[in-house]
Structure 1
Amino acid sequence: MQHVNSSNSSVSTHSLPENLVASGVLGMCFALGVPGNIAVLVLLPGWLKGGTFTPRLMRSLAVSDLMTLLPLPVWIWALLNGWVFGLFLCKFLSYVVYWNIYCSVLCVTSLSMQRYMQVLHTQTWAKLRQRGQHRLVTGIWCLSAILASYTLIQRSVKSEEDGKLHCTQHYSSDIERVTTLLLETLVLFGLPFPLLVYFYCRLHQGVKHSTFFNSHRMTNLVARIVVTFFILWIPTHISNIVLAAAVLLGHDGLLWFGKAVRNIAGALTFISSCVNPLLYAFSAQVLWQSGAFGGKFFLF
């Protein structure tokens, strides 16, 4: 505690501008996303009575989004005042956030795959049955837990340039840092986004002449889902690539720029967790109007 006090007293109490912006974005995400995802979880039991698999994936996505958003007040405080919650909470909360971020991305990707299989390959999808569907959801959570495990090792509390303690990633070497940044970009964006585009495009091509779908509404909905995912995640992965390049090149200016935008870019990814309920509501409205709500043509 003495070290914390001496560190904080040696610098100005004003927070960096990028931290103020990131804190504002995170506060908005918490205020909008927590009630929205709770509302989704409250409404889902009625949909689950129909036995469709899509609401089960939606429930997992809502739970992962909610668990990602709930610790935000702690992170907002840490951005503005430094980390004062100890090493255990640093590792634990970081792991929870990363675990649920991985789970959210895998759920969104699985939703696109599930719609494609259920609509265009009905017989193959029917063979999966309820037990197989339950195993798929369980597998998503287990795989996400494994993918996020590196945060338990890398996260630590240390003093930064502003003189405050921060809960940040600690790398034993530049190679470890570059590898971590590139693997995060690959797993969270490089693989899921092409799959999203592929399954959505194939689905649209396969059902554009079907009487169960309104082609124009379907096109707009697909565009919103894919573009929203792209816009909210691409800044973080650009900053990852910039940081990796800066480390490899030993470019201090590029490294400073990457660090400056990382907090803001990271805050933007949390917006996807509070936007998802709005996309669900819009999807339900579109399909209700087009007469495709329910059954094997249940879109979301």
Structure 2
Amino acid sequence: MASNITTSAPPPPPSMSVGAQVGIAILSLALVLGLPGNLFVVWSVFCRVKKRSVTCLLVLNLALADATVLLGAPLFLRYLAGGRGWEFGSAACKLVHYLSSVNMYVSIYLICLMSMDRWLAVTRPFVSQRMRTKQSLLALLLAVWVLAFVLSLPMPFYRSNLSKTLPNNLTLSFCIPYHWNSVAHRVFQYLFETIMGCVVPFSLINTCYSSVFCRLQSAKFQRRAQGSRLILLIIGAFALFWLPYHIVNIIEVVGLLQDSPTVIAAALRGRPNVTAFAYFSSAVNPILYVFAGSSHIRQAGLGFMGKLFDGTNSESRSNSTFSRSVRSSRSGSSPDEGTVLQALSTKLGKSFKGKQKSSSVAGKEDDEP
């Protein structure tokens, strides 16, 4: 006897938009490159670096922050590609966005620490030598992480998992911004993020490096430390990937304050893609380290990252050399250019290869009465 029971298939998911496709491509690339890359940096620091310097610990924390936020990428990929909305509940919705916000603040304020470290090393070498200890750094790192967790507190309050009925009568949940229909709350969130995550830290970074460059130019140095160049690349990469996000924040705030639906709609259209683009910043730093340590790859193989960071062990000695050079310059003698440049190097990239003979001669001259 034939059965007359019929089964109704669920309605098909909505077609994927171009914005979702772009977001999937960016997030997939960030996950494939960034998660293994940052975990490799963490492994190199713990297993290949014998003595972890101040700079090495800064890089370790940056890699840990990036790796942590990339762990949430599969959830976002499922959200964009599945066509079934947010399937992981309200708690996960708030948590992954909270961790993304923490990553933004940790990254930018760690970069601020790097910039302030360069500024002290160049402008206040004696103060830098006294303060540049692991104990002081651990206290500063703890302060950065606590600050990031505190500054990110608004994010879970302004993110919610809301249900929406689509035209095909399919009801889905979406992890979206939620401000209780309040313009003031929207303006506060986006202004707060941009001021504390962009304006304040980049003002500090620009002030530090402007002072450093003026000091170097006044000293008539012809060449710059390679470690400082790498830090500038890290700063530039962060600005490149996060600046569009903050621009969209400003556009939306302007639209809200002017009550312009057109401007608000433009910001809402651009926000998903710039958010995914900012997410990619977590995958960039390991790529920069690979380029910086490329000269060690043939010799050390997978241990090249350890070789790269081993150079930072001479930071204290370099600062001491810099202090002697400054003291000799104050007494009337001219410091050797190679020695001073070696002292200015962050040692995060390849250490500056000054003239060793000149450096040793300069050291002997400093010891003479």
One fold, TM greater than 0.5? yes
Matches within 5 A, 1:135-214: 135-159=139-163, 164-172=172-180, 173-207=182-216, 214=223
Partners of 1:156 and 1:168 within 8 A in 2:
yes
Shift in Å, 1:215: 2.6
Partners of 2:241 and 2:278 within 8 A in 1:
yes
2:248 to 239, 244, 252: 239
Shift in Å, 1:92: 1.8
Matches within 5 A, 1:40-119: 40-45=41-46, 49-80=50-81, 81=83, 82-119=85-122
Shift in Å, 1:93: 1.8
1:159-208 Cα offsets, whole Å, 9 max, x none, are 45866421122113110110110110111111122222232333344346
**1:45 alignment partner, SS class:** helix
Q: Distance in 2 between matches of 1:79 and 1:119?
A: 48
Structure 2, gaps ≥5 residues long: 1-9, 297-306, 316-344, 349-369
Partners of 1:68 and 1:101 within 8 A in 2:
no
Q: Distance in 2 between matches of 1:158 and 1:58?
A: 38
The code of the aligned residue for 1:22 comes to: G
Structure 2 vs 1, CA of residues 197 and 23 (structure 1 numbering), >3 Å: closer, same or farther?
same
Q: Distance in 2 between matches of 1:12 and 1:220?
A: 48
Q: What is the RMSD of the two structures over their aligned residues, measured on CA atoms?
A: 2.9
The code of the aligned residue for 2:193 comes to: E
Q: Distance in 2 between matches of 1:273 and 1:187?
A: 19
Structure 1, gaps ≥5 residues long: 1-7
* More divergent stretch after superposition (241-250 vs 139-148): 241-250
Shift in Å, 1:115: 2.3
Give the percent of matched residue pairs that are identical in Structure 1 and Structure 2. Answer: 24
Q: Paired residue for 1:224?
A: 233
Partners of 1:54 and 1:114 within 8 A in 2:
no
Q: Distance in 2 between matches of 1:104 and 1:226?
A: 10
**1:191 alignment partner, SS class:** helix
Shift in Å, 1:219: 7.9
Q: Paired residue for 2:327?
A: none
Return the structure number with greater relative CO, CA threshold 8 A, min gap 6.
Answer: 1
1:258-299 Cα offsets, whole Å, 9 max, x none, are 11111111111122111111223334569999xx86522334
The code of the aligned residue for 1:104 comes to: S
Q: Paired residue for 1:5?
A: none
Shift in Å, 1:142: 0.7
Structure 2 vs 1, CA of residues 219 and 110 (structure 1 numbering), >3 Å: closer, same or farther?
closer
1:121 to 113, 120, 124: 124
Q: Distance in 1 between matches of 2:220 and 2:286?
A: 27
Structure 2 vs 1, CA of residues 221 and 141 (structure 1 numbering), >3 Å: closer, same or farther?
closer
1:120-162 Cα offsets, whole Å, 9 max, x none, are 4232123333322111011111111111112232221114586
Mark the structure with the bigger radius of gyration. Answer: 2
1:133 to 132, 137, 158: 137
Shift in Å, 1:210: 8.4
**1:83 alignment partner, SS class:** coil
* More divergent stretch after superposition (182-191 vs 277-286): 277-286
Partners of 1:200 and 1:222 within 8 A in 2:
no
Q: Paired residue for 2:30?
A: 29
Partners of 2:252 and 2:267 within 8 A in 1:
yes
Q: Which has the higher helix share?
A: 1
* More divergent stretch after superposition (31-40 vs 49-58): 49-58
Partners of 1:115 and 1:299 within 8 A in 2:
no
The two structures have a TM-score, normalised by structure 1, of 0.85
Structure 2 vs 1, CA of residues 50 and 205 (structure 1 numbering), >3 Å: closer, same or farther?
farther
Structure 2 vs 1, CA of residues 204 and 282 (structure 1 numbering), >3 Å: closer, same or farther?
farther
Structure 2 vs 1, CA of residues 161 and 147 (structure 1 numbering), >3 Å: closer, same or farther?
farther
Structure 2 vs 1, CA of residues 244 and 159 (structure 1 numbering), >3 Å: closer, same or farther?
farther
Q: Distance in 2 between matches of 1:218 and 1:49?
A: 20
Q: Paired residue for 1:16?
A: 17
Q: Paired residue for 2:346?
A: 298
Matches within 5 A, 1:281-292: 281-284=290-293
